[in-house]
Structure 1
Amino acid sequence: MKRTMKWAIAALVLVLLAAGALRAIGARKAQQAKLAAGTGSAAIETVVELSATDVVRVARRELAETLPVSGTLRAVDSAQVKARVAGELIGLTVREGDTVAAGQVIARIDPVEYQSRMRQAQEQAESSRAQAEVAQRTFDNNKALVEQGFISRTALETSQSNLNSALSTHRAALAAVEMTRKSLDDTVLKSPIAGQVAQRLAQSGERVAIDAKIIEVVDLSRIEVEATLAAADSVAVRVGQRATLQIEGGGVADPKSGERTVGASVVRVNPSAQAGSRSVLVYLRLDRSTGFRQGLFAQGTIDVGRTETLALPLTAVRTDKPAPYVQVVIDGRIAHRPVETGLRGQLDGQTMVAVRGIEEGAVVVAGSLGPLRQGTAVRLSPVSASAAPAPAASARSAP
């Protein structure tokens, strides 16, 4: 009897446990179903409203095809005054920043030695001239004696040879005089151009060698930018193309952007590439040279052409996937459309990019809104829905 009672109690406990477990499982399933139903209804009801600033329309715009360029300012006319003869440098008084005129005497090489050489050459020329005169008289006398038959023609030919030798010696002495005179003249150092002294490379009293640099003079009335371009980019550059540059230390303030810029034009393109880097030098003449100095850094863009194409703000093209794409509003929902990007340019302070793979007039979510999941329901505000595409305009920027 007691054993039967124990089995009955155990069975009752098992039944109660099973019932409790089934009740707990049922309650949990009901709660999950309720949560799922609530989430689904919330997703259906969630609609993202987009204002006029949250969307842009794909429109055709005229973009300027530009190349980035940077380089250093160089004076068109510059010169280095060098010593043409060796000697002691005297009379050098100009320093960096001083203004000099074309032909102005900058310094001198001590001329004492060259004046002595000049006198020596002149004396040798006088001696050779006297010998030539003696040879001339001898020839004339022998010529008269030959005609009278007193001497043979061989003696006349010998005197003729002596005369020719004396004349040659005299001409050589005169040439030596000219050479020493030039060396004496070269002791006076003059500036070949008008401008300002950029460097002083020697001091008075210093003994300098031939071709030693004394000063460098630059003419800042005409300045150009010496820029380097990749060989592939240089193909599109032509003489006369316009450029906009920003130069450290000066420039004209742009009325729209407030940036200090200066206009320039391409005046020369080097026909040879530089060894090693294979880059090509391009020279741009500044529209205004006032206030600039040689050696300043300049950077900007060269306008190499214009293209009308479908364009969007660069920020609207998303790159968080392997391929660039845009978020397009189609039938009230977000769709991701892959695009190909091309030329870039600046328009009203905003970087624009040419796009392919999307139709004109499509409504695209701006980059300021952030990523939206594909299929998200959206609603355009009346202002953004009726907004027309922006009018075409020109743009300038580096790709």
Structure 2
Amino acid sequence: MIRANRRLILAVGALALVVGLAFAYRGGWLPGFSGGGTGNQSGRDGPRRETTVTVTTAEVRLADVPVTIDAVGTVQALNTVTIRTQVDGQLLRLRFSEGQDVRKGDILAEIDPALYQAQYDQAVAKRAQDEANLANARVDLTRYEKLVVSHYASKQQHATQQALVAQLEAQVRADQAAIENAKTTLDYATIRSPIDGHAGIRLVDVGNIVHPSDPTGIVVITQLRPIFVVFTLPQQTLPAVQKAQTQGAAKVAALGPDNASVIETGELSVIDNQIDPQTGTVRLKATFPNPNLSLWPGQFVNVRLTLDLLKDVVTAPSPAVQRGPNGAFVYVLGDNNVARLRMVTTGRQDEKIAVITSGLEPGETVITSGFSRLFDGAETRVVNAQAPPAEAPPTAGGVPPLDRGAGESPRRERGARSNGARIR
């Protein structure tokens, strides 16, 4: 009985294996067998399997390609001023709103001026008193001059009166200096903005007694138009940066978090005069007009510095360039939409555009997707036949940025075939 059951189980297993192999053969899943192709059959009665690969394409073209380098920078205000009082007193009023744009000379705050007004009035009165004494002394001097001529007064009396006049003239000049000092102190009670800028949050409230020694001040004014971005680059790039600066204003673009959208464009303004020996980097400063206040002090931004411009070079979309054991290759769309594998040599490359130094000519069409089923000689169906040629992403100069070398191209498709062999 046990032997009969065992034989039955073995017979059922063998039958299942035969059925599975038959289905695998008819579907073309067995190694060494093809399930079909256009115009072919896997067996006498096997179904046909379509091998046409759906792809997208782009045109190889000539373009001007900038040589760029990326970094991370910090936005800094052109000028930052902490507004403080220069005299002691009670803060009577604030004449600005938080977050307001202020102009140079605008009144920001007022300190109680009563004490300083009294000192000013006192200095003015003292000058008036001394001027009256000086006028009287000058009249007496004129009289002594006449008496000396008539021998009714001695020369010593005349000289003494001359000295008194000179003394009073000096006193009047000292009074004028005291008036100017009191006037300056009185003016300090009215606090004005020293620059054009943007007012921050107030640091003290009306009614408080303020002093010049207060650590916080009253408000901070920052100048945001124009504005700086400070960033660092490796010391190896310094010769290229210096060369770019000698050829004219080197363009700098502040990029968004996606490292593609341009927030603001500016120019390289300063290269620091020394290299940091601990990090091996050099600091640079770029100036941005910032008309729309897109950049804000303290903000971190991605920075793209344009070092050079490659003119009229052959370019192709980076997804078209694949990597294999023998180097970089592309699939060129040939006659009758047949894919042809071709080895190429690349220059600078980023995630969108690759410079082709050899292997392609302008006007040829390369395949940009569908590599998992693609092989040399495969028939293809193009789904973007009416699409425009591949365009380079715009930057501040209207040309695509390329900031990687030939060996840094990311692989877009892992399942590409080279001469019928799968490359991984």
Whether the 8 Å CA contact 2:113–2:189 is kept in 1: the answer is yes
Gaps of 5+ in 2: 1-30, 38-50, 394-399, 404-424
Q: Is the 8 A contact 2:344 2:356 kept in 1?
A: no
Q: Cα RMSD between the aligned structures?
A: 5.1
Contact kept, 8 Å, 1:71 with 1:225, in 2: the verdict is no
Q: Structure 1 pair 358/294, CA: closer, same or farther in 2 (3 Å)?
A: same
> What's the TM-score once normalised by structure 1's chain length?
0.61
Q: Which runs of 5+ in 1 are unaligned?
A: 1-40, 249-258, 345-349
Hey, what does 1:120 align to over in structure 2? 122
The question of 1:206 aligning with 2:223 is answered no
Matches within 5 A, 1:248-259: none
Are the equivalent residues in 2 in contact too, given 1:60–1:392 (CA < 8 A)? no
C-alpha distance 286-306 of structure 1, shift in aligned 2 (>3 A): farther
Task: Provide the C-alpha distance between the structure 2 equivalents of 1:327 and 1:293, rounded to a whole number of angstroms.
Answer: 44
| Residue 143 (structure 1) aligned to one of 139, 142, 145 | 145
How much has 1:56 moved relative to structure 2?
7.1
Whole-angstrom distance in 1 between the partners of 2:291 and 2:370: 39
How far apart in 1 are the matches of 2:262 and 2:321?
A: 32
Per-residue CA deviations over 1:93-151 (Å, capped at 9, x if unaligned) read: 75534676876543322323323322332343234324323432332222112222334
Q: Which residue is equivalent to 2:356?
A: 355
Partner of 1:341: 347
Matched residue, 2:6: none
Question: 2:134–2:169: 8 Å Cα contact kept in structure 1?
Answer: yes
Q: Say which structure, 1 or 2, has more relative contact order (CA 8 Å, 6+ apart).
A: 1
- Does residue 270 of the first structure (1) align with residue 269 of the second (2)? yes
Question: Could you tell me which residue of structure 2 aligns to residue 24 of structure 1?
Answer: none
Cα distance change of structure 1 residues 223 and 298 upon mapping to structure 2, 3 Å threshold:
farther
Distance 1:153 1:273, change over 3 A: same
- CA gap 1:43/1:208 in 2 versus in 1, 3 angstroms: farther
The aligned counterpart of 1:16 is none
Maintained 8 Å contact 1:109/1:188 = yes
Contact residue 101 and residue 198 of structure 2 kept, 8 A? yes
The one of 106, 109, 129 equivalent to 1:107 is 109
Establish whether residue 159 from structure 1 lines up as the match of residue 182 from structure 2: no
1:273-284 to structure 2, matched below 5 A, reads 273=272, 276=276, 278-284=282-288
Displacement of 1:340 in angstroms is 4.2
| SS of aligned partner of 2:355 | strand
- How big is the shift at 1:43? 9.9
Distance in 1, matches of 2:67 and 2:84, equals 46
Aligned to 1:169: 171
Identical aligned pairs, as a percentage? 19
Is the partner of 2:347 in helix, strand or coil?
A: strand
User: Hey, which of these two has a bigger chunk of helix by percent?
Assistant: 1
- Alignment correspondent of 1:14: none
CA displacement, residues 322-341 of structure 1 (integer Å, 9 cap, x when unaligned)? x9533678x99998847342
Residue number in structure 2 paired with 1:379? 377
Partner of 1:4: none
Tell me the amino acid that sits aligned with residue 269 of structure 2.
N
TM-fit CA distance, 1:263: 6.3
Cα 1:243–1:133 shift into 2, 3 Å: same
- After superposition, the Cα gap between the structure-2 partners of 1:392 and 1:217, relative to the gap in structure 1 and judged at 3 Å, is same
CA distance in 1, matches of 2:331, 2:101: 65
Contact 2:52 2:379 in 1 (8 A): yes
Tell whether the 8 Å contact from 1:326 to 1:365 is kept in structure 2 after alignment: no
**Which one of the candidate residues 316, 321, 326 is aligned to 1:312?**
316
Query: Residue in 1 aligned with 2:256?
Result: 246
Distance in 2, matches of 1:67 and 1:108, equals 50
- Give, in whole Å, the separation in 2 of the partners of 1:219 and 1:213: 17
Question: Could you say which structure has the larger radius of gyration?
Answer: 1
Instruction: Quote the offset at 1:306 in angstroms.
Output: 5.9
Corresponding residue for residue 328 of structure 2 = 325
CA contact (8 A) 2:70 2:302 kept: yes
User: How far apart, CA to CA, are the structure 2 residues paired with 1:320 and 1:206?
Assistant: 76
SS in 1 for 2:143: helix
Q: Secondary structure at the match of 1:279?
A: strand
1:226 maps to which residue?
229
> How far apart are 1:201 and its partner, in Å?
2.2
Give 1:356's aligned amino acid. Answer: T
In structure 1, distance between residues paired with 2:91 and 2:252: 47
* Distance (whole Å) between structure 1 residues aligned to residue 301 and residue 255 of structure 2: 6
Q: 1:153, 1:247 → 2: CA distance?
A: 91
Cα distance change of structure 1 residues 206 and 308 upon mapping to structure 2, 3 Å threshold = farther
Distance 1:333 1:112 in 2: 91
C-alpha offsets along residues 158-201 of structure 1, whole Å, 9 cap, x if unaligned? 43233122101111111211210121122022446787631212
Structure 2 CA distance for aligned equivalents of residues 123 and 391 of structure 1? 86
- Where 1:96 maps in the other structure, the secondary structure is coil
- 1:185 is aligned to 2:191: no
Partner of 2:244: 236
1:15-48 CA distance string (max 9 Å, x none): xxxxxxxxxxxxxxxxxxxxxxxxxx9499999x
TM-aligned CA deviation for residue 235 of structure 1: 5.0
In the aligned structure 2, how far is the partner of 1:52 from the partner of 1:188?
A: 76
SS in 1 for 2:401: coil
How many residue pairs match? The answer is 334
Please report how far the alpha carbon of residue 202 of structure 1 lies from its aligned counterpart in structure 2 after TM superposition: 2.5
Specify the SS of the correspondent of 2:204.
Answer: coil
Deviation at 1:354, TM superposition (A): 0.9
Indicate which of 50, 55, 59 corresponds to 1:53: 55
